[in-house]
Amino acid sequence: MANFYQHKNYSFQDFDLLVDDGVIYACYIKKAPRLIGEHDSRQPNIYAMAKSKDSVNWEEVGDIILPVPNSWEESIWAGGISKQNDKYVIYYTGTTMKGRNDFCKIGKAYSEDLAHWEKDLENPVFIFDSQSPYYSDEKKLAFRDPFFFEHEGRKYILFCAKDKKQPAGKQGCIGVAEETEQNKFCWMPPIFSPGIYFDGLECPALYKIKDKWYLLYGIDMENDEKAFRYAVADSPFGPYKTFKDNQLLSSNNYTCRIINFGGKNLLYHWFRDNQNGKTRERLAPPKGVHILEDGRISLSEI
């Protein structure tokens, strides 16, 4: 029987993964139950952590980043986890319960043991700037879902965004900024901007597999579909190409992440279904990742 994971009475939603000392850690949005048809929970999201020693069985670590009433982070949205200079760092999205997309800001939290976390005293450390030369403040602002990566000794974060240079209504893209020093970010041109989507491309992630860079991203219902897709490039900064069949999984599977564990590349995602009149999301068992000769991703059951 497949091992799906969720903490009791909560959904397991947008997440990121870190492998450290032979253990997989998942930091994820712990979402309160909601009725079928409700877009979101009426309660604030919590950021929680689970861990696995064998890639299929999960154990809850606990709540790690809590929302703060009457603040910029009344609810916690998607983020990314990394290890930097022997310290663990999470970049995360905070927003207000009523403001939602239009009030998203990015914060940071730090840990030395992956169980106890402290928020950065300068939070929020990264705030949208409408004067940025690259990113649009078109209605339904897209500025969320940070994902950290390093390249040639420099630090960057990807984020869901809208491209000023694209036509109105077709600005959805993946943005990138360099963290030039602690909490100092330099805007860079979009890493991927197809010019066909209204909303920003959600929960981006970037991985180097073999000699190619794989950019994973989500298309939400604002873009008239629900799918997680990918693009491929020779450099982390593109240019990226897409395949006609670049949807990774069916539409009830979302937020894909890839890790190397036990010498194998594994893809994780959450799975949505309904139970007892409520919508739920659970972490699904991993799938094997295989790169075909033309660069396409092929997934297999394990």
One digit per residue, pLDDT tens: the chain, 302 residues? 579 999 988 999 999 999 999 999 999 999 998 999 887 888 999 999 999 999 999 999 999 999 999 999 999 999 999 999 989 999 999 999 998 889 999 999 999 999 999 999 999 999 999 999 999 999 999 999 999 999 999 999 999 999 999 999 999 999 999 999 999 999 999 999 999 999 999 999 999 999 999 999 999 877 778 899 999 999 999 999 999 999 999 989 999 999 999 999 999 999 999 999 999 999 999 999 999 999 999 999 98
Rounded distance between C-alpha atoms, residue 154 and residue 231, angstroms: 22
State the burial class of residue 4 (Cβ atoms within 10 Å of its Cβ: 0-12, 13-18, 19+). Answer: middle
Amino acid occupying residue 45:
N
Q: What is the pTM of this model?
A: 0.96
E strands, 68-164, where?
Answer: 75-84, 87-95, 105-111, 118-119, 144-151, 154-162
Q: Which domains does the chain have, with CATH numbers?
A: 11-300 (2.115.10.20)
Q: Mapping DSSP to helix (H, G, I), strand (E, B) and coil, where does residue 19 land?
A: strand
Half-sphere exposure of 182 (CA within 13 A, CB side): 9
How many CB atoms are closer than 10 A to CB 203? 29
> 3-state secondary structure string, 154-214?
EEEEEEEEEECCCCCCCCEEEEEEEEEECCEEEEEEEEECCCCCCCCCEEEEEEEECCEEE
Q: Determine the pLDDT at residue 222.
A: 75
Q: What is the distance between the alpha carbons of residues 38 and 29, in angstroms, rounded to a whole number?
A: 17
| pLDDT for position 251 | 87
> What distance in Å separates the CA atoms of residue 48 and residue 61, rounded to the nearest whole number?
8
> What digits encode the pLDDT tens for the residues 14-34?
999 999 999 999 999 999 989
Query: Cα separation of 198 and 172, whole Å?
Result: 5
Residues 79 and 90 sit within 8 Å (Cβ to Cβ): yes
The three-class DSSP label of residue 221 is helix
